[in-house]
Amino acid sequence: MIFQQKFNASDATIARIFRDLVPDEVFDIHVHTYHSSHFQKEIPFLKGIHKLGCEDHRSYLSRYMPVKKLHGLYFGMPEKQGDRDAMNRFTLDEVRDHGTDLSRSLMVVSPHDEVVKVADQLKQDTCCGIKVYHCYADRKDTMNAEIAEYAPEWMWELLNEMDGVLMLHMVKNGAIEDKGNQQQIRKLCKAYPRVRLILAHVARSFNYRNARKGLSGIADIENVFLDTSAVCETEAFKAALRIFGPKRVLWGGDFPVTEMRGRCVTTGDRFFWIHPEIID
């Protein structure tokens, strides 16, 4: 899958359908910023792209989302060898200088970061919380990491003090269907009730069966929300709205993933990305 800079005839046809469906003002709860200098190696799907900021986000999405105002919650692109300090500074500057009045930013934070330093950075005026990712867990098989391994309690403590946001892309094969994930979410959200936990990708329900079977296990926890970013399965959306209700389901695009052609489909108890580059 690659970032598509060109808008073709099929894209234009779909965009025309959206004209009567999309409201004038939209908040995108899941947006990545990007600068190639923050990474040792070029990210494959962003080959040839140097920078993506707030204006790029609005420009690309406006091609098919005819909104008058597009706000966003922005954060860097988590990557093990990426320069987190640089990406966090870049994101803060982007939101301050080019974001809309309601746009905000999250810091990409590792369990190994200095607590005092993170606490100080969270005081920046556009920053409202933390983005965590499994690649920073202290193990080789990070796809099997427990939530607390990459979102330790000190992060929750800081966010609880500021009514902050924690953006979580969980892992493990069952995603939200996994009982261990459910138990940790329940424990941490009850201990830190002022943290607003956003479970990215409908609690990683790229496989809609995970949403159907797992969301009810945490739906009673009032400080848990879902974002819809990069989810392509209608059944996952239906489960989210039915189990969580519309007030706790937040629209997110996952820019720049939004600009790739393809979709993620349910296959058994896993999922698979179909895209033009693998189709003859």
**Residue 89 resides in a domain:** yes
Question: Any idea what the CATH number is for the domain that residue 107 is in?
Answer: 3.20.20.140
Q: Collect all residues with Cβ–Cβ distance below 8 Å to 214 and sequence separation of at least 6.
A: 174, 175, 176, 177, 178, 182, 203, 205
Tokens, residue 264:
């993620």
**Residue 42 resides in a domain:** yes
**Residue 5 resides in a domain:** no
The per-residue pLDDT for 224 is 99
How far apart, in whole angstroms, are the C-alpha atoms of residue 101 and residue 103? 6
DSSP-based three-state secondary structure for 21: coil
Tokens, residue 25:
């003002």
The per-residue pLDDT for 62 is 94
The answer to whether the CB of 175 falls within 8 A of the CB of 207 is yes
**Residue 13 resides in a domain:** no
**Residue 242 resides in a domain:** yes
Which of 9, 107, 126, 112 is closest to 63 using CA atoms?
9
Counted domains in the chain = 1
- Widest pairwise Cα distance in the chain: 53
Tokens, residue 105:
């930013």
Helix 179-191 / helix 153-161 crossing angle, nearest 10 deg:
40
Tokens, residue 125:
């005026």
The per-residue pLDDT for 212 is 98
Entry pTM: 0.96
∠ CA 101-106-107, rounded to 5°: 140
Fill in the DSSP letter of residue 144: G
Q: Collect all residues with Cβ–Cβ distance below 8 Å to 153 and sequence separation of at least 6.
A: 188, 191
Domain assignment of residue 40, given as a range: 25-278
**Residue 9 resides in a domain:** no
The answer to whether the CB of 186 falls within 8 A of the CB of 221 is yes
Walk along the chain (280 residues) and give the pLDDT tens digit of each residue: 889 999 999 899 988 988 888 999 999 999 999 999 999 998 999 999 999 999 999 999 999 998 999 999 999 999 999 999 999 999 999 999 999 999 999 999 999 999 999 999 999 989 999 999 999 999 999 999 999 999 999 999 999 999 999 999 999 999 999 999 999 999 999 999 999 999 999 999 999 999 999 999 999 999 999 999 999 999 999 999 999 999 999 999 999 999 999 999 999 999 999 988 888 6
The answer to whether the CB of 175 falls within 8 A of the CB of 205 is yes
Which of 106, 108, 101, 4 is closest to 61 using CA atoms?
4
**Residue 218 resides in a domain:** yes
**Residue 153 resides in a domain:** yes
